[in-house]
Structures are given as structure tokens and as C-alpha cells.
Amino acid sequence: MNSELFWTLLKPVHPMAAGFCRKLTGDRDEGDDLYQDGLLAALRNFDTLRDEATFRPWLFRILINRYKNRQRSGWWRRRITLNTEVVEHDRKVNPQDEYNSRRWLQRALSALSPEDRALIVLYEIEGWPVAELAATFGRPAGTIKTRLRRARRKMRETLERFMPRPGTEIIIDEVPYALQRSKAADK
Amino acid sequence: MRCKEVKQRISENAGVLDRDVDEHIRACPACKRAAQAALMVQNALNAARGAEPVLPLSAVRERVEAAAKRHEHKTPLEKLMSKINEACHARPRLWAGLGAALVVFLFLTLIPFSYSRTVGYQVTVSGVGGNLDISPELLAATLSTVGYEDISISRSSEDDSDGYTFANLSTKEEAEDVAETFTVLAANPGQPEVKPIRENVTWSLLAQAVDKVVDKVVDGKPKTLKMRFDKHKIIINQEEIDGTIFSVDLSDEQVRDAIEKVLTHHGVSLDEISVAVVTDTPKAIRKISLRLPDSTSADGAKPHIDLYLADSVVGAVFEDGDDQVRFENFIEITFPDKELNGHSIFLKVPLKPVDSLKAKER
């Protein structure tokens, strides 16, 4: 196993991959944990990489698979991650706004399957082109576009449910949340 | 513009609304809400863009290589346990299912339960008329001629009637057979009662189930076809067959087809037995021959049975080695047992010789 080559190839990808894991999990510690876990798996299987040019999609594929496995292993505890950690933030942005924005994002992402979640993070946040997503996920570009469209709609619908209606909101940490309404009430 | 179309456009172009959509959402609160949500999603995604400070690669490398080293120093057992642990985490539902299946299997195989199993059958006949003077020895000898050699028979006498008990019968069919034989032999046979002999055991549920299933499995044992002939019907394996196959209006071919259909229905392959039907018009006798392939069994039994039908009387004729002809109305045909590599036909319980048929045939 050529360990040095692995670390050399990882160097340019590292900030994006580490950030991707944090965004994917919605939690800094959990993201770092996922990243290290994924790197360990990648290092062990480095021999299976045939073309060094495909290192990035190969690594991300491993990270996404590890994430899927982690999500599956917690299937009985279906928790919604609410990121309340203190994060380093851009001084130009109001920390309260940034915090709220993260909470809404996690709320919207929690409605997606692990793979769709990875797709949205890579496309919308990391700015990957559809062609590279298609190569990483091993699916045609048309399928990727359809899944992105569906995922966006699902995120919108999820937030819609949580958006306050007049007289139904509650305030938590100065953020207004909609009280859960039953489906019958919505009808 | 309809709400569905508006919501679709909102999802696709969050934050950038064209004039039509804008006009619609001003008038439609539901679409306005959808547009707000789409905008929130877009804003949240925009806010998440950009690189945030991450751990330096050197620190990550140190941790990953330490973890890799720890993994390399694990004993084979630890590595195996680690792999199992990983597999369990990767497919928790699958492993939970397998675990549950294992628990159920262990429960079925290891936990014993009290179980009453049938080890044999006995036939009891009470209230047999006093004029029947058959000793148990004579009964045993009679039954041995029709294939039941190990039956234990006891007789009890009460006032002017006798009671008989036939034990050591392995199957219910055998017991019913013996009861029927006795009914034929005795003028006033009383009421034969077939009872299972039960034994209490403590077995696991799986062993109990296997025991029950094994009783039912006939595969590997010779197939038995019991045929009883009555005036207007054939009874095969206790199932009554429509008597229309005896109709004089039917052609020989139709009768043959009907019999073949009945045999096939009872699991008999037409490779194992051939059916021939011939009508002797002057004598008004229809002869039906059931023939097994040209081989004789180890016990020398004949490989064919002929049935004669005439004037709504049915009988079977069996030609034994001395060219004697006997008529039976109850035959049991045992089909090939692969291990024996042969065939046998057992004739059971001679009943009423059909003299008229015998005369006509001659």
C-alpha cells in the first residue's frame, strides 16, 4: 500500500472533503468523526483505486457510503439533529442569522435520504457539476437532475410544515417554529 | 396559472420568480407560503456555502494512521469481532432479523415441551356375537395371509359376547384394514373401534414438528392404491369415483380415459400402470386390465389385475400361479419402490366370488 501517495492525493481535496462531512452530518464533531472513519476505510482500500485521476469521486463515494451506513445503524433512534454548537463564523454575518439558517437547513436536510442529502450538499453547497455527481454516484446525469429537483421540492415542503402560521408559532431561542399540525387539521 | 405549476416553478427557480408566478403568489396565500419556504431553503443553502476552517491535514493524518496501526496490531479474533461489529452497524436490520431468527431457532430446537405422540394403533371390537368361534391364533393366521404378520390379538369374553383387541398396528390405514377384515369374517362383528396408542415424550417443538411431518411423508415408500369395487362405483383410496365409467353407453376408449384420469388424479403415473379396456359384446362383459410393466416382484405376485364389468356387477379377477381364478372386490396395488426395483400386487380379503361372471368368462 502506497500510503504517501494517498496523503499526497488527499492534500488538495482535504478542505472540501472535511467540510463536506461536517455539512452532511450537520455536526462538527460527527462530521470529523465520519471523515476520519472514511479516510481509514479509503486508506485500507487504496489498492482498489485504479486511476489516480478519479481519486476525488472515489474518496467521496467512500465517505457517502460510510455516512449511509452510519445513518442505517441509527435507524431505531430517528433523531433530528439540531445543531446548537458554537461555530466559527464570518464576522460580517450576524451570528444569530447564521445559527438560524443552519437550523433551517438541518431541518430541511433531515427530510432527505442519506444519498439525496449528499447530492444536495455536493451540488448546492460545494458546487459540483452534474457530470461529476453522475460519475460519483454511478447514475445518468438525467437521473441526478431529477433527484435534485425532487430533493429541493421535499426540502421546501418540509420547511413549509415548520413555518409558523399566524397564531400557531412558538419561539425557541428567539426562532419562531410552527406548532405541529395534524394532517386532518391541514385538510 | 394553477397552484401546482406555480409550486413546481418555485421549487425549480427558488428566489427568482417570474412575473406570472409573482402575480399568482400575491393572490394565493398557499403559494406565497411555498415561495417563502423555497426562499428559506435557498438562503440556508447560500449561507452554508463557502469553506469553513477544518482540522489541518497533518492532525487528521496522525489520527488516521494511529487508528490504522491499532487495527494492524489487533489479534485475528479482534479483527473478526471488529468486522462483525462493522457489518452489524452497516446492516442493522438484516442482523437484527438474523439474530431474531437465531433466537427463534434455538427456542424451537432447545426448549423441550411435553408432547403426546402416536406410536401405533389398535383395534378393539366388543359385543361380538357368541356364534363366532375364532381363536386369536386362527385370526392371527388369517391376517398373516393378507400381509399382517406381527399383530398381537387378544380376546376377552363377557356373558354371551366376545371382545377382540388387535394391537401392534403401525398406521391408521392398517388398523382400518384389519377392522374391515374382521367385519367380513365375523357374522355379527360388533363395532370395531380404531384407537391411536399414544406415548408422552418431552421434545423440542422442532422435533415434534418433524415427527408429525415424517408421519405424513410417503416419498420413498411404495405408493399404495387401494381400490374397492361396488355395483356402481369404484372407491380409490377411500374416495368414491363417479359410477358413470361403468355405463354401457360409453366406448372402451372413453372408459379407458376415465380410468386413466382417476389413476392420474391419485398420483399414479401411466408409465407405472397401463390400462386396457375391451368389451366382449356377445357376452356383455367389459374387461378392464390394469397391467404393471413386465416384471414380477420378489414375492412372485402377479403383475396384473383384470376387472370385469357386466350387468352392473363389478369384480376383479386374479389368476394365480395354479391357473385358478378367484374374484375379488377389494384389491390393493403397491406401486414400485425404487429400492426394491420391482412391483408387487397384494390381494386382500376375499369377499364374494362373482360366480355369474366367472361362468360367463369361461
Q: Are strands B112-129 and B152-158 parallel, antiparallel or unpaired?
A: unpaired
Per-residue pLDDT, averaged over A157-179, amounts to: 63
Of the candidates A179, A11, A157, the residue with the CA atom closest to the CA atom of residue B8: A157
Please give, rounded to a whole number of angstroms, the shortest distance from the CA of B37 to a CA of chain A. Answer: 5
Q: Which residue has the higher pLDDT, B211 or A180?
A: B211
Indicate the helix (H) or strand (E) that contains A20. Answer: helix A3-25
User: Which of the residues in chain B have pLDDT under 70?
Assistant: 13-17, 128-134, 145-147, 159-161, 184-189, 214-249, 262-263, 265-269, 272-273, 280-362
Residues contacting A39, CB < 8 A, separation 6+: A10, B60, B64
- Span A51-70, average pLDDT: 89
Contact B60 A159 (CB under 8 A): no
Could you tell me whether strands A169-172 and A175-178 are parallel, antiparallel, or unpaired per DSSP bridges? antiparallel
B291-299, Cβ contacts within 8 angstroms, sequence gap of 24 or more:
B292/B333, B292/B343, B292/B345, B293/B343, B295/B342, B295/B343, B296/B342, B296/B343, B297/B340, B297/B342, B297/B343, B297/B344, B297/B345, B298/B340, B298/B342, B298/B344, B299/B344
Chain A hits for B43, Cβ within 8 Å: 101
| Chain B residues touching residue A43 (CB < 8 angstroms) | 64, 68
Flag if B57 and A11 touch (Cβ within 8 Å).
yes
Q: What is the mean pLDDT of residues A131-137?
A: 90
Fill in the DSSP letter of residue B249: T
Residues forming beta bridges with residue B326, ordered by sequence position: B318
Say if the Cβ atoms of A69 and B90 lie within 8 Å. Answer: yes
User: Residue A184's pLDDT band (boundaries 50, 70, 90)?
Assistant: very low
Instruction: Go through A76-111 and write b for each residue having 16 or more CB atoms within 10 A of its CB, e for each that does not.
Output: eeeeeeebeeeeeeeeeeeeeeebbbbbbbbbbbbb
Residue with cell 367389459: B286
pLDDT of residue A168: 52
CA distance B112 to A142: 60
**What is the C-alpha to C-alpha distance for residues B10 and A113, in angstroms, rounded to an integer?**
22
Any idea which of A69-73, A120-124, A168-172, B67-71 has the lowest mean pLDDT?
Answer: A168-172
- DSSP letter at A124? I
Task: Tell me the residue ranges of DSSP E strands in B54-111.
Answer: none
Mean pLDDT of chain A: 78
Q: Which of residues 78-97 of B touch A (CB under 8 A)?
A: 88-93
What secondary structure letter does DSSP report for B197?
E
Give yes or no for B48 touching A (CB within 8 A): yes
Instruction: Tell me if A18 and B34 make a contact (CB, 8 A cut-off).
Output: no
Q: Give the pairing of strands B239-241 and B285-291.
A: unpaired
* B34 part of contact set with chain A, CB < 8 Å: yes
Residue B4's pLDDT is what? 82
| CA proximity to B261, closest of B278, B244, B281 | B244
Is the pLDDT assigned to residue A163 strictly greater than 90?
A: no
Report how far residue B170's alpha carbon sits from residue B52's, in angstroms, rounded to the nearest whole number: 83
Strand spans (E) along A59-180:
169-172, 175-178
Return the C-alpha cell found at B246. 361403468
Nearest to A2 by CA among A42, A33, A57, A30: A42
Q: How many C-beta neighbours within 10 Å does residue A124 have? A: 22
Q: Name the residue among A59, A41, A61, A64 with its Cα closest to residue A117.
A: A64
pLDDT number for residue A117: 92
Size of interface A-B (CB pairs under 8 A): 111
pLDDT of residue B116: 84
Long-range contact set of residues B58-61: C-beta below 8 Å, sequence gap at least 24? B60/A14, B60/A18, B60/A35, B60/A36, B60/A39, B61/A7
Residue A33 vs residues A39, A88, B92, B214: alpha-carbon distances, Å: 10, 18, 20, 56
Cα separation, B326 vs B316, in Å, equals 8
> Would you call A36 and B34 a contact, using CB atoms and an 8 Å cutoff?
no
Q: pLDDT tens across B87-120, in order? A: 777 777 888 899 999 999 999 888 888 888 888 8
In 3D space, the residue among A181, A93, A165 whose CA is nearest the CA of residue B37 turns out to be A165
Report the complex ipTM: 0.74
d(CA A122, CA A126): 5
How would residue A4 be classed by pLDDT, with cut points 50, 70 and 90? confident
Residue from A154, A97, A29 nearest B11 by CA? A154
Higher pLDDT, A168 or A151: A151
Contact B71 A40 (CB under 8 A): yes
Beta strands in A9-167 (DSSP E): none
Rounded Cα–Cα distance for residues B124 and B195 (Å): 8
Return the pLDDT at B329: 47
Task: Look at the block and give the residue holding cell 391411536.
Answer: B196
